[in-house]
Amino acid sequence: MRAATYPAYSTDLSTIQVTEVPDPKVFPGWVLIEVRAAGVNPVDWKAMTGGLDPLIDAVFPVIPGWDVAGVVTAVGIDTPEYQVGDEVIAYARKDVLSAGSFAEQMAVPVTAVARKPASLTWEEAAGLPLAGGTALRTLDRIEVSDGDTVLIHAAAGGVGSFGVQIARARGARVIGTASERNHDYLRSLGAEPVTYGEGLAERVRELAPDGVDAVADFVGGQLETTLAVLREGGRHASIADGTVAEHGGSAVWVRPDGHETARLVELVDQGELKVEVSATYGLDQVAEAFAASQSGKVRGKIIIVP
């Protein structure tokens, strides 16, 4: 099969090439997915540069990609949950960097798989699992519920936009940081936008004089502001700053979990959650997709279509 691969850790995106690799084998309790679309996440290019080397082994050449949407074409022994022809999605991170979703096929543990929302395109569905799951897990950790006022850092990004929608679905008031060009977008999601940068804490306090009940940091480097606007007894978490644990917060790293992904699907089916696709690239354009992601100016999700 065809797949995008890189031969070693590198910051040189030109080392990513489309190559022929063996078809995946299907272990008991796994499914083989014909990939219709795969989501790009910052962790993909961070892994390529060796940023995850202290945490995870790699077997080169590596096929990147942890988000997948596609059709089941084979099932392993003792996998009654799915049948050939089922349309599915998954946050499909594995224990070793090797066989990811930027390929024509991908084998995935059934525990990571959920059914694709019928209302989403393949491209939209592929953008849901990792970013949506990260937002869901973070808001679960800080126990966002009806009546809360929540500050979301980087609210217009891939994870942040899901966080806004999930928090609003729970009945929370959301204040979201973003550049001014994304303020209308945040308003369309139900958030009250504030411009990030110097004076952010004061701007948040103008909207919430008594402080906010919870803070979700989806960008990092926001601890000072978070602590300045958090009311006494408030909760906070970050996906990009492990030091929050030293200040009463939680560091969050989402796990592959088909049940959590199914909760996202339920929100989609209820009309509470939408996926914005920023751009779509082919397998031979993964380098360009990574460059776009690295720019930090993407609103919504970047998608690879084999």
Q: Give ranges for CATH 3.40.50.720 in the chain.
A: 131-251
What integer pLDDT is reported at residue 131 of this predicted model?
97
Judge: domain 2-128+275-305, CATH 3.90.180.10. yes
Instruction: Spell out the residues 6+ positions from residue 80 whose beta carbon is closer than 8 angstroms to its own.
Output: none
Per-residue pLDDT tens over the stretch 277-289: 999 999 999 999 9
- Please give the mean pLDDT across all residues of the chain: 97
pLDDT tens readout for residues 153-173: 999 999 999 999 999 999 999
Please state, in angstroms and rounded to a whole number, the distance separating the CA atoms of residues 224 and 228: 6
> Cα dihedral angle (73, 75, 81, 84), rounded to 10 degrees?
30
The first and second tokens of residue 238, run together, are 């970050």
Look at residue 296 in the predicted model and tell me its pLDDT. 80
Range(s) for CATH 3.90.180.10 in the chain? 2-128+275-305
What is the structure's pLDDT at 298? Answer: 80
Give me the CATH topology for the region 131-251.
Rossmann fold (3.40.50)
User: What is the pLDDT at residue 300?
Assistant: 85
Residue 297 pLDDT grade (very low, low, confident, very high; cuts 50, 70, 90) = confident
272: pLDDT confidence band, cut at 50, 70 and 90? very high
Percent of the chain with pLDDT over 90: 98
